[in-house]
Amino acid sequence: MADSKVELPAWPARLGLAYTIGTLVTNTDIYASMKASFLAGGFDEGSCEYLAIDNTGPTQTSAYRGLNSILDAARGELVILCHQDLMLIADGRAALDQRLAELTAFDPSWAVAGNAGGVAPGELSLRITDPHGRDQRIGGFPRRVVSLDENFLVVKRAARVGFSYDLTGFHLYGADIAMAAATMGYSAYVIDFHLEHLSPGNTRTTEFARSLATFETKWCRALRPRWVQTTCALVGVSGSSPGRLMRRLALPCVAKLAKRRAKARDKSAQADRS
């Protein structure tokens, strides 16, 4: 019998939604001001949707879990995940459309973009107004980064990237999604989209210290050198050149040990059957 052709369902973005704007809300008045700012900036409800996680009560949904749920529910082609205390200044929908089109032409493999992030140790890329300074512009744009600030993130929904399931809290999730995107072959960028963030942020808390420790533990574990045994090959994985060299040199010995272990296991299984 000949294989029948499988027709994939229509992409949800064909419903006509360009953007989903998702936010964790702890203060409804501040959120209302942010939403009004976005509406005035061209993010109309005809082509955009606004999704909010209600965190006004004592029991709160973490950023990792809440924003993943927004990504799951989003129907927009692009998903803006932002803090409730943002205000658009001069840049609006048209400016963001243009910046993202420029980014796509520059690097089609981008998955996440923002207005602030880390490039390398001691080197940042910023395009923001906040309590630390007005009209900050550091670095050329678009600038590829290894992490992004959480105040404003744009996620390309087609990339299917998200936040770690094994992390929680309200810090470092911008770095987390940028690193997750990188492991999938995508990239993250800071773009020239200027808005105002009303909060300076606070890293001098026990909650931030706890998030930093768990973030470091998780990603050290995720990126650790290891042997990957597949059903058809043994692969040594390491992020460093010396580590890769050591694994290539050690591969014959490890492969022999793996074969001996498999033979011993087969003999044991045969003995059990007899």
pLDDT in tens, 81-120: 999 999 999 999 999 999 999 999 999 999 999 999 999 9
Residue 5 confidence (pLDDT): 42
Rounded CA-CA distance 259/237 in Å is: 19
Residue with tokens 């949904």: 61
Per-residue pLDDT band at 189 (split at 50, 70, 90):
very high
Per-residue pLDDT band at 6 (split at 50, 70, 90):
very low
Residues of the chain by 3-state class (helix, strand, coil), percent to 5: 40, 25, 35
The amino acid at residue 271 is A
Rounded CA-CA distance 179/146 in Å is: 7
Residue 274 confidence (pLDDT): 61
* Cis, bond preceding 142 (omega within 30 deg of 0): yes
Here the tokens at position 155 are 């996620």
Q: What average pLDDT does the segment 156-174 reach?
A: 97
In this structure, the number of other CB atoms found within 10 A of the CB of residue 36 comes to 12
Q: Thinking of the domain 12-222, which architecture would CATH place it in? A: Alpha-Beta Complex (3.90)
Residue 237 confidence (pLDDT): 82
Rounded CA-CA distance 179/164 in Å is: 10
pTM of the complete model:
0.83
What percent of the chain has pLDDT above 70?
A: 83
Q: How many helices (H) and strands (E) does the chain have?
A: 6, 15
pLDDT in tens, 227-274: 888 888 888 887 666 655 555 666 677 667 766 765 665 565 566 656
Query: Within the chain, where are the H helices?
Result: 28-40, 63-73, 93-106, 173-183, 206-222, 241-273
Report angle CA 41, 147, 114 to the nearest 5 degrees.
Answer: 10
Here the tokens at position 204 are 């001098």
Identify which of 173, 248, 227, 199 has the alpha carbon closest to the alpha carbon of residue 84: 199
Residue 124 confidence (pLDDT): 95
Residue 145 confidence (pLDDT): 98
Q: Is residue 38 over pLDDT 50?
A: yes
- Mean pLDDT (the chain) is 88
Q: What average pLDDT does the segment 159-185 reach?
A: 97
Residue 2 confidence (pLDDT): 41
DSSP one-letter code for 240: S
Rounded CA-CA distance 112/190 in Å is: 9
| CATH 3.90.550.10 residue spans of the chain | 12-222
Output Rg (C-alpha) for the chain, integer angstroms: 23
Residue 79 confidence (pLDDT): 98
